[in-house]
Amino acid sequence: MKRAIVASILGIAASLALASSSKAQGFVNFISYAADVNAPVTLNGVVVGSEYTADLEFSLNGGATFTDLSSVAANAGSAYPTSFLATDGDTADGAGYFVGPTVTIPGYSSGSVEFIVEAYNGASYAASTIRGQSPILTMASIATGNNSPGDMVGLQGFTVNPVPEPATIALAGLGMAALVAYRRRS
């Protein structure tokens, strides 16, 4: 009888723990310019403009795997992913920076979170011809519950670059093979 009671109590405790952890979530302001953040995105030394989009990936397991925040239903319908401000090169109007919404990080209850910001100029990061990623930003903790979300303090600026087309890479490979073959003949 004692075993049955103990098993029931443990089962209820486990169910409560699962229910509370499944509803756990954190919040952070998705912003690259604020009093405590200054992280411009550039292309060839010029800050990018509103034709670029900023997206966010997060990791709750020390950076072992990252999840694209655009796949999180809680962020659907907000201004996420967000566009950069102003036009190329016009830093007076905020080019190179984005000021997005407060985003929801599901499954977060405490501990550190790793973030990567992606910037791109197409329909998606993977399909873009010009894109780039920030260095990994590790935040010791983020807001939960009724706490006010903080900014992404420590975010660093980064550069976007043209992505070589597969044909360009193949042509470079053929050129290298031709050089090796020519060298062997001489």
pLDDT tens digits for range 34-91: 999 999 999 999 999 999 999 999 999 999 999 999 888 888 878 899 999 987 667 6
pLDDT, mean over the chain: 84
pLDDT: is 142 or 2 the higher one?
142
Question: pLDDT at position 22, please?
Answer: 47
pLDDT: is 72 or 4 the higher one?
72
Question: pLDDT at position 106, please?
Answer: 95
Question: pLDDT at position 172, please?
Answer: 58
Give me the count of residues in the chain: 186
C-beta separation of 38 from 156 below 8 A:
no
The percent of residues in the chain predicted with pLDDT above 90, rounded, is 62
C-beta separation of 15 from 9 below 8 A:
no
Report helix, strand or coil for 56: strand
pLDDT for residue 133 is more than 50: yes
Q: What is the pTM of this model?
A: 0.76
Question: pLDDT at position 78, please?
Answer: 83
pLDDT for residue 7 is more than 80: no
Band of pLDDT at residue 19, cut at 50, 70 and 90: very low
Burial class for 81, CB neighbours closer than 10 Å (0-12, 13-18, 19+): buried
